[in-house]
């Protein structure tokens, strides 16, 4: 794995920011929301050309070989634009799970395809609970040709855009990871009617679906996959809340009532100051958690859960107050505030709920007793 | 007495309202105007008002008997003395001549819209720039209003206008009851975060209104406006906007029913949240009852201005707890419960922003109820035309 300096990381982020500001700005996002897939493949291919899709793929397979710190930083940029492509599943979680497999000849081509933008991976990690820490709801059985999967998985992002899906399934009482080629998957999946229109979610029912097993990928790697997803999501939430916060502060400076900018009113100053504490705490912990995971520090898991619920809850708080601070203008669909606010609602539940992460955080703390 | 009243109203409704088809007995479709006229003629639309003004001179407790009879049958037209802001304002402030001219028409028509807010005048409503210029015995009105709820249906609006640019901002305002259905009034719906489009932009270009339709005095509109806005805030303090509202008489509150249905009452943490939410709602209801008693006794109650602010916490809180009760399924607008929870989460902002934001409500409570020193308004005492805007 490569080491990146702070400047190098910043340079990647600046590049990503430029690409998104050209191709995934608010106008583009609103157009994308109206499409069936909610996915902009030409933007994805641009990201692939820049090496971003191979961010966490090993250089042996044409990737950049970066770690979760770079992923977290890039997700902050993604969050700023509410970018909703399959970056977490395909570029953060999938490469790490695939690279953990001992069968390199099987996973190698997939890693190359992720890096080149030819393949897109979804992750099926949970059932109706929406919680990756709960026992899998999909079962794997070995047959003459390999493995078959049965059962339903839920809360899958970008299932219809994905060429492949990694499924966390129960195999003889243990968790294991299986690879499904979505071209072979015959049951038509549909995107569900989400309240947050910026993100596509669906469930998939496997019914004797043919799958390959990722050799030697077990409990530890699956727990690690959740932690990766949570940190990446935390980064996205930091980006989202900072963007909404900055829009709001600007508004406090430019909106006049009673002959003055409304930022002069103490009630609003106090709200803004409180929100800054929330934004900065979230930024700090998302980055520290990423750093701890990258360096394999002993507190990594505890910090991951802390980042997860802090960023999820603060995103919610910042966007909710941002609407209030704007007044009537933010009660409209035309204003972006509700887009951020709704994404924040989604983030309360993805991978593991913020309440669950709070509980897991305390469990980690209790282990110190 | 109230038993007599109850059977009288019920008898009347049974004779005239077809509660299976939701229309007047003997008609093929529901026609609002004729039905409302019938209700108004019977005195049931505004029972607390005197007989002279289409009422029955009843107490609000007796009026509740009538409302209940209407509500249980799904009959429309009740409570117009509580919810029809235009009619209420004309009833309170209009001259007898204006009442004679307009009250019946207002009561038998759709509710009036509120043409207050403008792009530059929201919290600072006294900053309205829509001009009304005298022309004979009429005024010619030009300007833009925004966030105007129900402007599409409304036949009348209560309109705040600027009639003196040289006076200080509170002094040069005139308040009208304004006919909406005329050339020069263009209504453009706005999409709201709830998915509704109940509020609108209203562009007014050289539209006309008779000087008889001034509410209160010329250039003294700010004073009469206070009466109208107080009625509005009183209504909002009862929290009628959310889908998941309070409880119908004798029924468990909606939040509790939702929690029960989804097994959330087994969760000790949610139990705490739910109990607190129910408590906030009940405490507000009790406060409002006390306010009503004080009003009956003394003609005023400082408690009444607390209701709208309390309702913001109640509605935002209940929506969040509903989402927790539903769990991640709330992300999908695929069940009635999720739709309601998501709708209410957005709609709560109608209470905390509309009709004066929570921040403004707190200022009002601090300054007018508690008598704390007033905050500075640098634009208060200078000629309106010299005020800075952003
Ligand atoms: C659902 C809905 C329906 C509505 N219906 C109508 C209607 O029918 N008719 C109508 O005329 N209007 C209507 N409104 C408009 C509503 O009254 C205004 O939105 C509200 O008064 C706030 O004004 P504004 O939107 O311009 O926000 P602003 O006044 O610009 O407020 C922006 C922020 O500044 C804060 N602020 C402003 N001044 C102060 C101060 N002095 N101290 C502390 N904080 C301050 C506010 O609290 C808010 O957080 C409706 C609004 C909503 C949301």
Say whether pLDDT at A368 is over 60.
yes
Say whether pLDDT at A158 is over 60.
yes
Ligand 1 centroid distance, CA of B233 (Å): 13
Instruction: State the Cα–Cα distance between residues A246 and B157, nearest whole angstrom.
Output: 37
To test the pocket of ligand 1, the residue of B114, B147, B378 to mutate (highest count of ligand atoms within 8 Å of its CB) is: B147
The SS3 call for residue A178 is strand
> For ligand 1, atom 37, which residue shows the shortest CA distance?
B123
Give the tens place of pLDDT for each residue, A54-69: 999 999 999 999 999 9
Instruction: State the Cα–Cα distance between residues B60 and B41, nearest whole angstrom.
Output: 19
Say whether pLDDT at A1 is over 60.
no
Atom of ligand 1 nearest to the CA of B192: 1
Question: For the packed helices B268-298 and B307-326, what is the interaxial angle rounded to 10 degrees?
Answer: 160
What residue has token string 């009466």? B227
Q: Where are the domains of chain B?
A: 2-83, 112-219, 224-369
Residue A63 DSSP label: S
Look at chain A and count its residues.
369
> Could you list the pLDDT tens digit for every one of the 390 residues in chain B?
678 999 999 999 999 999 999 999 999 999 999 999 999 999 999 999 999 999 999 998 899 999 999 999 999 999 999 999 999 999 999 999 999 999 999 999 998 999 999 999 999 999 999 999 999 999 999 999 999 999 999 999 999 999 999 999 999 999 999 999 999 999 999 999 999 999 999 999 999 999 999 999 999 999 999 989 888 888 877 766 556 666 666 789 999 999 999 999 999 999 999 999 999 999 999 998 898 888 888 878 888 889 999 999 999 999 999 999 999 999 999 999 999 999 999 999 999 999 999 999 999 999 999 999 998 899 999 999 998 876
Q: What is the pTM of this model?
A: 0.95
Q: CB atoms < 10 A from the CB of A207, how many?
A: 13
The two domains A6-116 and A222-368 share their CATH topology (first three levels equal): no
Between the alpha carbon of residue A348 and those of residues A43, A286, A315, B293, B315, the distances in Å are 27, 16, 9, 44, 19
> For ligand 1, atom 3, which residue shows the shortest CA distance?
B354
Cβ distance of A259 and B192 shorter than 8 Å: no
pLDDT of res. B256: 97
Give the tens place of pLDDT for each residue, A162-178: 999 999 999 999 999 99
Atom of ligand 1 nearest to the CA of B121: 26
Q: Rounded to 5 degrees, what are φ and ψ at A213?
A: -95, 140
Tell me the β-bridge partners of B142: B131
What residue has token string 């790490």? A96
Q: How far is B114 from chain A (nearest CA, A)?
A: 15
* In contact, B217 and B229? CB cutoff 8 Å: no
Atom of ligand 1 nearest to the CA of B358: 47
CATH code assigned to A6-116: 1.10.540.10
Instruction: State the Cα–Cα distance between residues A208 and A146, nearest whole angstrom.
Output: 11
Q: Which of B190, B354, B379 sits opposite A332 (nearest CB)?
A: B190
Tokens read off for B25: 């007995």
Q: Rounded to 5 degrees, what are φ and ψ at A206?
A: -95, 140
Tokens read off for A345: 């609602």
Q: How far is B130 from chain A (nearest CA, A)?
A: 16
Q: Rounded to 5 degrees, what are φ and ψ at A142?
A: -85, 140
Atom of ligand 1 nearest to the CA of B160: 11
| Kind and range of the H or E run holding B131 | strand B131-135
Give the tens place of pLDDT for each residue, A240-282: 999 999 999 999 999 999 999 999 999 999 999 999 999 999 9
Tokens read off for B257: 């029913």
Ligand 1 centroid distance, CA of B359 (Å): 10
> For ligand 1, atom 52, which residue shows the shortest CA distance?
B354
In which band, very low, low, confident or very high, does the pLDDT at A324 lie, cut at 50, 70 and 90?
very high
Q: What does B321-384 look like in DSSP terms, one character per residue?
A: HHHHHHGGGGGBTTSHHHHHHHHHHHHHHHHHHTTS-HHHHHHHIIIIIS-PPPPP-TTSSSBG
Spell out the residues 6+ positions from residue B20 whose beta carbon is closer than 8 angstroms to its own: none
Instruction: State the Cα–Cα distance between residues B9 and B1, nearest whole angstrom.
Output: 12
Of chain B, the end-to-end C-alpha distance in Å amounts to: 59
The SS3 call for residue A214 is coil
Q: Among candidates B237, B234, B257, which has minimal Cα distance to B247?
A: B257
Q: Among candidates B210, B111, B91, B101, which has minimal Cα distance to B151?
A: B111
Q: Which residues of A touch B (CB under 8 A)?
A: 128-131, 155, 192-196, 201, 254-262, 265, 267-268, 320, 323-324, 327-328, 330-334, 338, 341, 345-346, 348-349, 353, 355
Q: Among candidates B318, B329, B145, which has minimal Cα distance to B241?
A: B318
Residue B110 DSSP label: P
Q: Which of B124, B269, B329 sits opposite A258 (nearest CB)?
A: B124
Mean pLDDT of A141-151: 93
Cβ distance of B379 and A258 shorter than 8 Å: yes
Q: Per-residue b/e over A220-229, b at no fewer than 16 CB within 10 Å?
A: ebbebbbbbb
Q: Where are the domains of chain A?
A: 6-116, 121-219, 222-368
pLDDT of res. A186: 61
Domain B224-369: CATH architecture, name and number where available: Up-down Bundle (1.20)
Give the tens place of pLDDT for each residue, B91-109: 999 999 999 999 999 999 9
Averaged pLDDT score across all residues of chain A = 96
Tell me the β-bridge partners of A164: A121, A181
Tokens read off for A337: 């505030």
Burial class (CB within 10 angstroms; exposed 0-12, middle 13-18, buried 19+) of B172? buried
Percent of chain A with pLDDT over 70: 98
Atom of ligand 1 nearest to the CA of A266: 43
Residues with CB under 6 A from ligand 1: A 255, 257-258, 262, 265, 267-268, 324-329, 331; B 113-114, 116-117, 122-123, 147-149, 199, 349-350, 353-357, 359-360, 363
CB contacts of B319 in chain A (<8 Å) are: none
Instruction: State the Cα–Cα distance between residues B33 and B110, nearest whole angstrom.
Output: 9
CB contacts of A346 in chain B (<8 Å) are: 331
Domain A222-368: CATH superfamily, name plus number: Butyryl-CoA Dehydrogenase, subunit A, domain 3 (1.20.140.10)
pLDDT of res. A353: 97
pLDDT of res. B230: 86
Domain B112-219: CATH architecture, name and number where available: Beta Barrel (2.40)
Fold of domain A121-219: Butyryl-CoA Dehydrogenase, subunit A; domain 2 (2.40.110)
Lowest mean per-residue pLDDT among A123-132, A186-195, B161-170: A186-195
pLDDT of res. B246: 63
Q: Nearest chain A residue to B347 by CA: give it.
A: A331
Between the alpha carbon of residue B229 and those of residues B169, B225, B327, B356, the distances in Å are 18, 6, 38, 9
* In contact, A253 and B118? CB cutoff 8 Å: no
Give the tens place of pLDDT for each residue, A213-225: 999 999 999 999 9
């Amino acid at each position: 794995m490569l080491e990146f300096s702070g400047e190098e990381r910043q340079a990647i982020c600046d590049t990503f920011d430029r690409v998104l500001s050209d191709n995934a700005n608010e106008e583009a996002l609103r157009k994308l929301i109206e499409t069936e897939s909610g996915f902009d493949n030409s933007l994805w291919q641009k990201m692939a050309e820049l090496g971003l899709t191979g961010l966490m793929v090993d250089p042996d397979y044409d990737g950049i070989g970066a770690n979760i710190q770079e992923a977290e930083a890039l997700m902050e940029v993604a969050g700023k634009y509410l970018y909703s492509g399959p970056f977490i599943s395909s570029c953060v979680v999938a490469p790490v799970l695939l690279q953990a497999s001992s069968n390199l000849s099987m996973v190698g081509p997939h890693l190359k395809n992720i890096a080149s933008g030819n393949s897109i991976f979804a992750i099926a990690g949970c059932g109706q609970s929406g919680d990756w820490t709960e026992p899998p709801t999909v079962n794997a059985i070995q047959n003459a040709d390999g493995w078959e999967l049965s059962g339903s998985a839920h809360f899958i992002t970008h299932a219809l855009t994905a060429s492949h899906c990694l499924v966390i399934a129960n195999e003889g009482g243990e968790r294991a990871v299986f690879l499904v080629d979505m071209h072979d998957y015959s049951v038509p999946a549909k995107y569900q009617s989400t309240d947050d229109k910026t993100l596509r979610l669906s469930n998939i029912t496997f019914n004797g679906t043919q799958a390959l097993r990722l050799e030697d990928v077990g409990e530890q790697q699956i727990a690690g996959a959740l932690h990766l997803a949570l940190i990446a999501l935390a980064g996205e939430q930091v980006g989202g809340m900072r963007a909404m916060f900055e829009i709001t502060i600007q508004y406090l400076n430019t909106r006049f009532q009673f002959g003055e900018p409304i930022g002069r009113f103490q009630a609003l100053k106090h709200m803004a100051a409180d929100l800054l504490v929330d934004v900065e705490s979230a930024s700090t912990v998302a980055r520290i958690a990423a750093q701890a995971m990258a360096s394999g520090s002993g507190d990594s898991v505890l910090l991951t859960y802390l980042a997860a619920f802090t960023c999820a809850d603060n995103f919610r708080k910042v966007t909710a107050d941002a609407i209030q601070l704007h007044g009537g203008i933010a009660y409209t669909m035309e204003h972006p505030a509700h887009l951020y606010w709704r994404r924040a609602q989604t983030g309360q539940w993805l991978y593991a709920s913020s309440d669950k992460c709070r509980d897991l955080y305390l469990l980690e703390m209790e282990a110190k007793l | 007495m109230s038993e007599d009243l109850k059977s009288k109203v019920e008898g009347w409704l049974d004779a005239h309202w077809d509660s299976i088809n939701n229309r007047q007995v003997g008609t093929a479709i529901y026609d609002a105007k004729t039905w409302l006229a019938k209700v108004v003629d019977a005195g049931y639309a505004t029972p607390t008002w005197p007989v002279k003004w289409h009422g029955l001179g009843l107490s609000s407790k007796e009026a509740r008997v009538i409302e209940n009879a209407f509500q249980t049958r799904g009959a429309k037209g009740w409570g117009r003395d509580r919810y029809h802001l235009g009619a209420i304002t004309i009833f309170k402030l209009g001259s007898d001549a204006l009442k004679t001219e307009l009250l019946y028409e207002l009561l038998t028509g759709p509710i009036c819209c509120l043409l207050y807010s403008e792009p530059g005048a929201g919290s600072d409503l006294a900053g309205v720039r829509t001009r009304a210029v005298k022309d004979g015995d009429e005024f010619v009105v030009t300007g833009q209003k925004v966030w105007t709820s129900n402007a599409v249906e409304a036949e009348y609006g209560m309109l705040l206008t600027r009639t003196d640019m040289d006076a200080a901002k509170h002094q040069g305002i005139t308040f009208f009851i304004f006919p909406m259905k005329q050339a020069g009034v263009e209504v453009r719906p706005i999409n709201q975060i709830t998915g509704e489009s109940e509020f609108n932009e209203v562009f007014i270009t050289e539209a006309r209104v008779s000087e008889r339709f001034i509410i209160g005095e010329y250039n003294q509109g700010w004073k009469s406006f206070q009466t109208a806005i107080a009625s509005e805030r009183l209504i909002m303090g009862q929290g009628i906007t959310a889908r998941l509202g309070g409880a119908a008489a004798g029924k468990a509150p909606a939040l509790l029913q939702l929690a029960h249905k989804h097994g959330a009452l087994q969760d000790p943490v949610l139990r705490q949240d739910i109990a607190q939410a129910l408590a906030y709602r009940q405490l507000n209801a009790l406060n409002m009852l006390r306010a009503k008693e004080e009003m009956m006794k003394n003609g005023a109650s400082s408690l009444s201005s607390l209701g709208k602010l309390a309702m913001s916490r109640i509605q935002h809180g209940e929506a969040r707890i509903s989402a927790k009760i539903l769990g991640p399924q709330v992300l999908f607008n695929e069940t009635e419960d999720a739709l309601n929870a998501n709708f209410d989460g957005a709609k709560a902002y109608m209470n905390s922003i509309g009709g004066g934001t929570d921040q403004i409500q707190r200022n009002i409570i601090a300054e007018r109820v508690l008598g704390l020193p007033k905050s500075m308004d640098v634009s208060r005492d200078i000629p309106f035309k010299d005020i800075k805007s952003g």
